[in-house]
Structure 1
Amino acid sequence: MRIVVAHNRYREAQPSGENTIVDAEIGQLTAAGVEVLPFLRSSDEIPSMSKAAKALLPISPIWAPKAQQDLDRLLVEHRPDVLHLHNPYPLISPWVVRTAHRRGVPVVQTVHNYRQVCSSGLYFRDGVICQDCRGRALGVPAIVHRCYRGSRAQSALMATTLAVHRPTWKSVDRFIALTSAVADHLRDYGIPDERIVVKPNAIPDPGTPAPLGDGFLFLGRLSPEKGLDLLLEAWRRHPDGALGPLRIAGDGELRPLVEAAAAERGDVTFLGPLDRAGVRAALTASAVVLATSTWHDVLPTVIIEALASGRPVLGTALGGIPYLVGADTPREPAGTGPAAVASVPAGGATGPAIPAGIESGDAGWVVAPDPAALAAALPVARAHAAARSASARTRYERTFHPDVVTRRLLDTYKAVTPTAPPHH
């Protein structure tokens, strides 16, 4: 099987779980014997572009003519079975769907965010969840509020792109929804059930987990939607040192907020941006990973990394976080699937009963995105971390391991290749 993987990489200065997942998926497919033809562009290319190329940037989200020419040559030369699209913005454009269909190549897209509808892709604005553009032919609120890159002009362009490409998206042969919540988003957009497959991401197996460390780890973009304000407010409700260390790793616009917290308290450490070895060391040193997003975070890669390392997760009950920790659905009967991992009773093997308002899953806990709720959950997570470590690793093995996920992905490709209708 020959697959083109198309992805516009996010800037390397801004840590991206999506970039990590695409790289890992290419490796997993190659290991499974698939011939992968990467069709990659990077937003880091923009500063070094020629003046002529930069002049065309405003229309790139709609059309991106150079990308279409390059892709068309690739399709004609290699005759792939499927084009698998991830992020098309800004240098690839959704137009690649039309380019592929013109050559009779079916298209699968992994939906990593909400950008079929939302110009920022986040359903998040001014510190709160926002879905003002749902159901609109043109996302006027996105233009009014400068939702794309803080620019009214660029927001108008993105809103126009989403309107122009509504028929393009609706022609995609299969959508991969990373969770059931994303599948609901696609149905709301008008995609029929038979063209939606729920398949989470995978990360490479890091091997047998190291013994638990102590304290908590936040690892991700230091941006408002990741809930750093929420986390730090909840943390300050406990005396300095009462919960063990809080390590915060990453970079972004809220870095000064984190640096101030680290200067203010002895139990907060700012690790800065980390390479892969640094991430592994930070996970090893910690007992619980935090995912405190205040938006409907689709499928935070850091949670899968935590589970693979046998670290339970304390997160907010938004987006894909409940799904990841196994707190989104009733437990299945024993032995019937991932949710059948042996669970810890409410009181755990040791320690107090888990208070109301803290929802428990096989691999961790979720709470409302509220400082008081998170503050109440922090000592519970610390007390029960050891009891959840093994089931966190088991959830990874059964649901997010590359062997499991790659089989699902190959099945998705096979489903569109024999029966894909010709496109004109």
Structure 2
Amino acid sequence: MKVVVAHNRYREAIPSGENVIVDTEIAQLTAAGVEVLPFQRASDSIGDLPASQKLLLPVSPVFGRAAQRDLAELLRREKPDLVHLHNPYPLLSPWVVRTAHAHGVPVIQTVHNYRQVCSSGLYFRDGHNCTDCRGKALGWPAIQHKCYRGSAAQSALMATTLAVHRPTWKSVDRYIALTGRIAAHLRDYGIPGERIAIKPNGLPDPGEPAPLGEGFLYAARLSPEKGLALLLDAWRQHPDGSLGPLRIAGDGELRPLAERAAAERTDVTYLGALDRAGMEAARRDAAVIVAVPTWNDVLPTVILEAMAAGRPVLGTDVGGIPYLLGLGETPTPAGWAVRPEVATLAAALPIARVDAAQFAPAARDRYLRAFHPDVVTGQLLDIYAGLTAGHDAAPK
């Protein structure tokens, strides 16, 4: 089988679980004998584009002329069985779906967020969950609130792109929803249930877990929806040193909060942005991983990485986190999920500290049963086979 994997990579300066997942999936498919043809663009490359292409950047989310030309050439040359799309913005554009169909190639998209409807993709703005654009022909609220990159002009462009490409998204041959919640989002958007498959992300097995370290690790993009302020407010409810160390890894607009907390308390350390080796070391040093987003985070990669490493997770009960941790599915879940409230999280911190060793084996077991490559790659290959078996290769 020959598969084009299409993805617009997020900026490397901002940690992206989606980039990690795409890289991992390519490696897993290749190991399974699939011929993978990566078709990727990187947002980091925008500054190096020729002047002629920079002039077209404002409309690239709608059409992406250069990407369509290159994809068409790839499809003619390689004649793949399917195109598997992840993130199309800004340089690929949803038009890649139409380009693939014009060449008789079916398209699968993995849905990592809510961007069929929401300009930011998060269903979150101004510190709270928001679905104001759901059901609207044009997302005027996104323009009013500058939801895309803090710009009314760019928000208008993204809202227009979503409106223009509603028929494009409706034509995708198969969607992969990471969770049941995302499947419900797609059905609400108008996608028939028979065109939606539910398959979570997976990660390579790092091997047998190291013994638990000490304290807590928070690793995320330091932006409001990721819950850093919530965690620090809850942490301050306890005397300095009473919970062991809290290490914070990541970068972003809320970096001053992390730096201020580290200056105020001896039990808080700000590690800054870490590379992969640095993150692995930070996980080994911790007993519990904290993942406390306040938005409906779909399937946080940091939690997958924690469970693979045998670290239980203290999370919030939003988005896909309860599913990730196996709450309600297994006798002993991979951690704890609490309401995204200061008092509730503050009460859970000492419980997680005391019970970490009890929950660690369950975290590793949850990974092995649900998110190991042997499990999720098999599921993905079944989805591919189910689509290509009945596909008419005539151009649409």
Q: What TM-score, normalized to structure 1? A: 0.92
Runs of 4+ in structure 1 displaced over 4 angstroms?
A: none
> Structure 1 residue 374 and structure 2 residue 320: aligned?
no
In the alignment, residue 293 of structure 1 is paired with which amino acid? P
- How far residue 70 of structure 1 moved from its aligned partner, in angstroms, is 0.2
- How far residue 423 of structure 1 moved from its aligned partner, in angstroms, is 4.1
Partner SS state of residue 113, structure 2: coil
Partner of 2:381: 410
Partner SS state of residue 247, structure 1: strand
CA distance in 1, matches of 2:89, 2:121: 11
- How far residue 275 of structure 1 moved from its aligned partner, in angstroms, is 1.1
Q: Is the 8 A contact 1:88 1:94 kept in 2?
A: yes
In the alignment, residue 119 of structure 1 is paired with which amino acid? S
> Structure 1 residue 139 and structure 2 residue 139: aligned?
yes
CA distance in 1, matches of 2:388, 2:189: 24
1:337-356 alignment, distance < 5 Å? 339=330, 342-343=331-332
> Structure 1 residue 126 and structure 2 residue 122: aligned?
no
> Structure 1 residue 37 and structure 2 residue 37: aligned?
yes
CA distance in 2, matches of 1:277, 1:96: 35
CA distance in 2, matches of 1:258, 1:136: 38
> Structure 1 residue 206 and structure 2 residue 206: aligned?
yes
Partner of 1:363: 334
CA distance in 2, matches of 1:51, 1:195: 41
CA distance in 1, matches of 2:182, 2:63: 26
Partner of 2:116: 116
CA distance in 2, matches of 1:419, 1:101: 15
- How far residue 420 of structure 1 moved from its aligned partner, in angstroms, is 1.9
CA distance in 2, matches of 1:288, 1:371: 18
In the alignment, residue 245 of structure 1 is paired with which amino acid? P
Q: Is the 8 A contact 1:124 1:130 kept in 2?
A: yes
CA distance in 2, matches of 1:182, 1:212: 33
Partner SS state of residue 417, structure 1: helix
CA distance in 2, matches of 1:410, 1:70: 26
1:185-334 alignment, distance < 5 Å? 185-327=185-327, 330-331=328-329
In the alignment, residue 337 of structure 2 is paired with which amino acid? V
Deviations 1:60-79 (A, max 9, x none): 00000110000000000000
CA distance in 2, matches of 1:416, 1:276: 35
CA distance in 1, matches of 2:335, 2:136: 37
Deviations 1:7-32 (A, max 9, x none): 00001111100001100110000000
Deviations 1:312-364 (A, max 9, x none): 1011110011111112xx43xxxxxxx3xx52xxxxxxxxxxxxxxxxxx101
Partner of 2:361: 390
CA distance in 2, matches of 1:255, 1:138: 34
Deviations 1:174-229 (A, max 9, x none): 11111111111111111111111111111111000001111101011011100011
In the alignment, residue 246 of structure 1 is paired with which amino acid? L
Partner of 1:60: 60
1:68-79 alignment, distance < 5 Å? 68-79=68-79
Partner SS state of residue 279, structure 2: helix
- How far residue 171 of structure 1 moved from its aligned partner, in angstroms, is 0.6
Partner SS state of residue 182, structure 2: helix
Instruction: Work out the number of aligned pairs and report it.
Output: 395
Partner SS state of residue 284, structure 1: helix
Identity %: 69
- How far residue 251 of structure 1 moved from its aligned partner, in angstroms, is 0.8
Partner of 1:148: 148
CA distance in 1, matches of 2:110, 2:290: 25
- How far residue 256 of structure 1 moved from its aligned partner, in angstroms, is 1.0
Q: Which runs of 5+ in 2 are unaligned?
A: none
CA distance in 1, matches of 2:66, 2:227: 38
In the alignment, residue 374 of structure 1 is paired with which amino acid? L
Calculate the aligned-residue CA RMSD, in Å.
Answer: 0.8
In the alignment, residue 404 of structure 1 is paired with which amino acid? V
Partner SS state of residue 41, structure 1: strand
- How far residue 51 of structure 1 moved from its aligned partner, in angstroms, is 1.5
CA distance in 2, matches of 1:258, 1:77: 50
Partner of 1:182: 182
CA distance in 2, matches of 1:280, 1:153: 40
CA distance in 2, matches of 1:384, 1:95: 50
> Structure 1 residue 103 and structure 2 residue 103: aligned?
yes
Q: Is the 8 A contact 1:173 1:420 kept in 2?
A: no
